[in-house]
C-alpha cells in the first residue's frame, strides 16, 4: 500500500516531475480530489483566481514570460467551459499551457450528470491535443505526454480532463522516461537545399525585406536575426507578436506592418523583390487583401509548423524548421552584402509620411492617448526591466506603435484571438514569473472590466502589478470602425464606467485619476514609487482614432492616414 498513490496524488507528482512550480485555478466538485491532495505538495504554488477564464490567461502570461509551460485548473461543466476562451487564445498565439479539468465520474459520463460537459469535444479544434482520463493507471503517462506536446514543435495548449473516479482511485504509478508518439515528430532542422536556395535569392535581391514574427522569440533566435540583418543590411519589420525580437532603436528596425502598420512598412512590402518571413503566419491583419500582397516579391517562409506554409500566401522557398537552427545554418554560408539604396528609399518614405501618421495637436488643451504612451515609453525604458501586458483595442495598437520596444519578451498581448480582458490576468501570471521586474497591465476601459474581479487576486497574492487604464468612455476600436465604415452610428459602444479609483480602493489598491497630459509623468513616477499594486486611470479624449489604418478587405498600400479620410 505504501507505494500506491491516489490519482490526485499522481497528478500532483506528475506536475512536479514536469518542473511545474505554480498553477492558476478555481476548485469545484469534480476536481475536489485534486484540491484535497494539493496541500501535500507545497512545491506547487496555487493561485486562487476569481474566474476560470482569468486562470487561463494567467497561465498564458506565465508561459510567455518564463518560457515554461503554464498550468491552469478548473472543475467540470461551467468551470471547464470558462477556460475555453483562454485555451483558444493560447492556440491562436502558440502559447504552451496545460489545462486540467475535473470531469464527472466515468459511470456518469454521457448521462447529463450535474455539471457534466464534453470539454474534450468542445476543445478539440482549439487544442494541440486533449485527453479524457477515466483510468487512474493512465494518468502518469498522459501527463508526461501532454507536457511534451505542449512545449515541443509549435507550442500550444493541451487539455487533460480527469474523471473524478480516476482522481480517487489508487495505483502504483509507472513513471515513463519518454513518450512514444510515432505520428508526432516536429522538424527542427531546415532542409539544406532550400536554405541554399534562400541564400541565392538573398544574394540576388535588390530590395529584400525581413518580416519577423513570434517564431523568432519562441526559438530564441534574436541574435541570429540581428546577425542576418547586420550582415546583409536587410531592414526588419516585426509583426505584433514579433515585437521585441529586433530592437526598435536599431537603424534597420522599421516597426509594425499591416492594418495599423506604418506607411513606409506597408509600402516596403509592396515594393520589395524578396520577402523573408521568419516565424510569422501571414495573418490577415498583416497581409490585408492577400491577392495584392507583396506583388513583386519572391517569398521565403521559415516556420516550424509546415501547415502554415502556403496557407495564406504563395511561397517560393519553404523552409520547415526551428528559426534559430535555420538561421544558424543560413549564416554558415551567407556572404555579406549591402542594401543601402533600398534602405534609404524606405527612410525617405518614412520621413514623408511619419508626421501625418501621428496625431497633430490642435490649438487646444486636449488630453490625447498619445500623450500617455509617449511618456510611458520613455519612463519604462529609462527605469527597466519591465514587462507590459496590453489588452485588445485602440490602446493595444497605440502601445505597439508608440512604445519603443527594445527588449525581447517585454510585449505580451492577445494577438490572434483578440481577447478583451486579457491584460490584467496575464499581468498576474507575468508578475509571478518575473517577481523582480515591473509588470504593467495596460487596458482600455472596456476590456479592463471584463476581468476586473482579478484585482482581488492581485491583492490576495500581494502582487505589485501596475495598472494603466486608457479611459475614453467607448469601446474605442469598435467606435472607430463605426465612425469610418458605418456612418458614424455609435451603436452600443458608449460606456458608462464606474469610478475606477474607488473600485481599486475597494480592493485595497491605491489609485490615481489623470485628466490632463501634464499629470502623466507624475502619475507614472508615483506608480514606480508605490511598493505594491496601483491603478492609474487616464481619462483621455473620447473620439481619437488609430492611424494609419487599412480598411477591411483593402490592400495594405491603401492606407487611411488621418481624418477626414485620406488614403495614400
Contact 130/124 with Cβ under 8 angstroms? Answer: yes
Name 337's Cβ contacts closer than 8 Å, sequence gap at least 6: 202, 203, 231, 232, 233
Taking each continuous run of H as one helix and of E as one strand, the counts in the chain are 23, 22
**Separation of alpha carbons 557 and 562, rounded Å:** 15
**Separation of alpha carbons 451 and 128, rounded Å:** 26
Residues 160-181: tens digit of each pLDDT: 999 999 999 999 999 999 999 9
- Three-state DSSP class for residue 290: helix
> To which residue does cell 502518469 refer?
140
As a whole-number percent, the residues of the chain with pLDDT over 70 amount to 97
Q: Which three cell numbers stand for residue 147?
A: 507536457
Res 2: pLDDT: 66
Residue 31 has pLDDT above 60, yes or no: yes
Res 384: pLDDT: 86
Residues 145-162: tens digit of each pLDDT: 999 999 999 999 999 999
Contact 303/281 with Cβ under 8 angstroms? Answer: yes
Residues 425-471: tens digit of each pLDDT: 999 999 999 999 999 999 999 999 999 999 999 999 999 999 999 99
Residue 356 has pLDDT above 80, yes or no: no
Residue 362 has pLDDT above 70, yes or no: no
- Three-state DSSP class for residue 116: coil
**Separation of alpha carbons 291 and 270, rounded Å:** 12
Burial bucket for residue 330 (CB in 10 Å: 0-12, 13-18, 19+): buried
Residue 370 has pLDDT above 70, yes or no: yes
Please give the C-alpha separations between residue 468 and each of 128, 237, 266, 367, 536, in angstroms, as whole numbers: 34, 28, 30, 15, 5
Chain centroid to Cα 102, Å, comes to: 27
**Separation of alpha carbons 179 and 496, rounded Å:** 53
Res 360: pLDDT: 64
- Smallest CA-to-CA distance from 76 within 157, 166, 186 is with 166
Lowest mean pLDDT among 55-64, 223-232, 543-552: 543-552
Left (φ > 0), alpha (ψ -120 to 50) or beta: where does 112 sit?
Answer: left
Strand pairing of 298-303 and 274-278? parallel
> How confident is residue 566, by pLDDT bands cut at 50, 70 and 90?
low
Res 563: pLDDT: 60
Residue 94 DSSP label? T
Contact 100/146 with Cβ under 8 angstroms? Answer: no
> To which residue does cell 515554461 refer?
68
**Separation of alpha carbons 529 and 536, rounded Å:** 13
Give strand pairing partners of 99: 72, 159
Res 359: pLDDT: 67
Residues 231-263: tens digit of each pLDDT: 999 999 999 999 999 999 999 999 999 999 999
Res 250: pLDDT: 98
Residues 273-307: tens digit of each pLDDT: 999 999 999 999 999 999 999 999 999 999 999 99
- Smallest CA-to-CA distance from 554 within 210, 284, 282 is with 284
**Separation of alpha carbons 358 and 367, rounded Å:** 15
DSSP, residue by residue, 316-379: SEEEES-HHHHHHHHHHHPPP---HHHHHHHHHHHHHHHHHHSPPP-SS----HHHHHHHHHHH
Mean pLDDT, range 474-487, rounded to an integer: 96
Res 568: pLDDT: 65
Mean pLDDT, range 87-112, rounded to an integer: 97
Left (φ > 0), alpha (ψ -120 to 50) or beta: where does 391 sit?
Answer: beta
Helix (H) / strand (E) element for 145: namely helix 139-151
Mean pLDDT, range 464-488, rounded to an integer: 97
Beta strands in 219-345 (DSSP E): 236-238, 253-255, 274-278, 298-303, 317-320
Name 143's Cβ contacts closer than 8 Å, sequence gap at least 6: 10, 11, 14, 15, 17, 18, 160
Neighbours of 248 (CB within 10 A): 18
Residues 207-224: tens digit of each pLDDT: 999 999 999 999 999 999
> How confident is residue 353, by pLDDT bands cut at 50, 70 and 90?
confident
Mean pLDDT, range 185-191, rounded to an integer: 97
Please give the C-alpha separations between residue 343 and each of 260, 268, 320, in angstroms, as whole numbers: 21, 9, 28
Strand pairing of 236-238 and 45-48? unpaired
CA dihedral 379, 402, 374, 221 (to 10 degrees): 10
Strand pairing of 22-25 and 170-171? unpaired
Beta strands in 68-157 (DSSP E): 70-74, 97-103, 129-133
Catalytically active residues are 52, 114-115, 164, 477
Query: b/e string for 408-444 if b means 16 or more Cβ within 10 A?
Result: bbbbbbbbbbbbbbbbbbbbbbbbbbbeebbbbbbbb
Q: Which three cell numbers stand for residue 90?
A: 493560447
Amino acid at each position: 500500500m505504501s507505494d500506491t498513490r491516489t490519482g490526485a496524488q499522481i497528478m500532483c507528482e506528475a506536475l512536479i516531475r514536469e518542473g511545474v512550480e505554480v498553477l492558476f485555478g478555481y476548485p469545484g466538485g469534480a476536481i475536489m480530489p485534486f484540491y484535497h491532495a494539493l496541500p501535500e505538495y507545497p512545491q506547487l504554488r496555487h493561485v486562487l483566481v476569481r474566474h476560470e477564464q482569468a486562470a487561463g490567461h494567467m497561465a498564458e502570461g506565465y508561459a510567455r514570460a518564463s518560457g515554461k509551460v503554464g498550468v491552469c485548473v478548473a472543475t467540470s461543466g461551467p468551470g471547464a467551459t470558462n477556460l475555453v476562451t483562454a485555451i483558444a487564445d493560447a492556440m491562436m498565439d502558440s502559447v504552451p499551457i496545460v489545462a486540467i479539468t475535473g470531469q464527472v465520474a466515468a459511470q456518469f459520463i454521457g448521462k447529463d450528470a450535474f455539471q457534466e460537459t464534453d470539454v474534450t469535444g468542445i476543445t478539440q479544434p482549439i487544442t494541440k491535443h486533449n485527453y479524457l482520463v477515466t483510468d487512474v493507471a493512465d494518468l502518469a503517462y498522459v501527463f508526461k505526454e501532454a507536457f511534451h506536446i505542449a512545449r515541443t514543435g509549435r507550442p500550444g495548449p493541451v487539455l487533460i480532463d480527469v474523471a473524478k473516479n480516476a482522481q480517487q482511485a489508487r495505483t502504483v504509478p509507472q513513471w515513463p522516461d519518454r513518450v512514444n508518439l510515432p505520428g508526432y515528430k516536429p522538424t527542427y532542422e531546415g532542409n539544406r537545399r532550400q536554405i541554399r536556395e534562400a541564400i541565392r535569392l538573398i544574394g540576388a535581391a535588390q530590395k529584400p525585406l525581413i518580416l519577423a514574427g513570434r517564431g523568432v522569440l519562441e526559438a530564441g533566435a534574436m541574435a541570429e536575426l540581428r546577425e542576418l540583418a547586420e550582415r546583409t543590411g536587410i531592414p526588419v519589420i516585426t509583426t505584433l507578436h514579433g515585437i521585441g525580437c529586433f530592437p526598435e532603436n536599431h537603424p534597420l528596425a522599421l516597426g509594425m506592418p499591416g492594418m495599423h502598420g506604418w506607411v513606409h512598412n506597408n509600402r516596403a512590402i509592396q515594393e520589395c523583390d524578396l520577402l523573408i518571413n521568419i516565424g510569422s503566419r501571414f495573418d490577415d491583419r498583416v497581409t490585408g487583401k492577400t491577392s495584392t500582397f507583396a506583388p513583386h516579391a519572391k517569398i521565403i517562409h521559415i516556420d516550424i509548423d509546415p501547415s502554415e506554409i502556403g496557407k495564406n500566401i504563395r511561397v517560393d522557398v519553404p523552409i520547415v524548421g526551428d528559426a534559430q537552427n535555420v538561421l544558424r545554418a543560413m549564416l554558415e554560408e551567407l556572404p555579406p552584402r549591402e542594401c543601402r539604396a533600398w534602405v534609404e528609399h524606405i527612410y525617405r518614405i518614412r520621413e514623408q509620411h511619419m508626421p501625418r501618421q501621428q496625431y497633430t495637436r490642435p490649438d487646444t488643451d486636449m488630453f490625447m492617448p498619445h500623450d500617455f504612451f509617449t511618456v510611458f515609453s520613455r519612463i519604462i525604458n529609462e527605469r527597466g526591466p519591465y514587462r507590459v501586458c496590453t489588452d485588445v483595442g485602440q490602446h493595444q495598437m497605440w502601445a505597439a506603435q508608440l512604445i519603443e520596444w527594445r527588449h525581447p519578451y517585454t510585449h505580451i498581448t492577445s494577438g490572434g484571438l483578440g481577447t478583451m480582458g486579457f491584460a490584467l490576468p496575464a499581468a498576474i501570471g507575468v508578475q509571478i514569473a518575473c517577481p523582480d521586474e515591473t509588470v504593467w497591465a495596460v487596458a482600455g476601459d472596456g476590456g479592463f472590466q471584463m476581468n476586473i474581479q482579478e484585482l482581488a487576486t492581485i491583492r490576495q497574492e500581494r502582487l505589485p502589478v501596475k495598472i494603466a487604464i486608457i479611459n475614453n468612455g467607448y469601446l474605442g476600436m469598435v467606435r472607430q470602425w463605426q465612425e469610418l465604415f458605418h456612418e458614424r452610428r455609435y451603436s452600443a459602444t458608449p460606456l458608462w464606467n464606474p469610478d475606477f479609483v474607488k473600485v481599486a480602493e475597494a480592493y485595497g489598491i491605491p489609485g490615481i485619476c489623470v485628466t490632463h497630459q501634464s499629470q502623466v509623468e507624475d502619475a507614472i513616477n508615483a506608480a514606480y514609487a508605490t511598493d505594491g499594486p496601483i491603478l492609474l486611470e487616464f481619462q483621455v479624449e473620447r473620439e481619437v482614432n488609430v492611424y494609419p489604418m487599412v480598411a477591411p478587405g483593402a490592400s495594405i498600400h491603401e492606407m487611411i492616414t488621418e481624418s477626414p479620410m485620406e488614403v495614400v
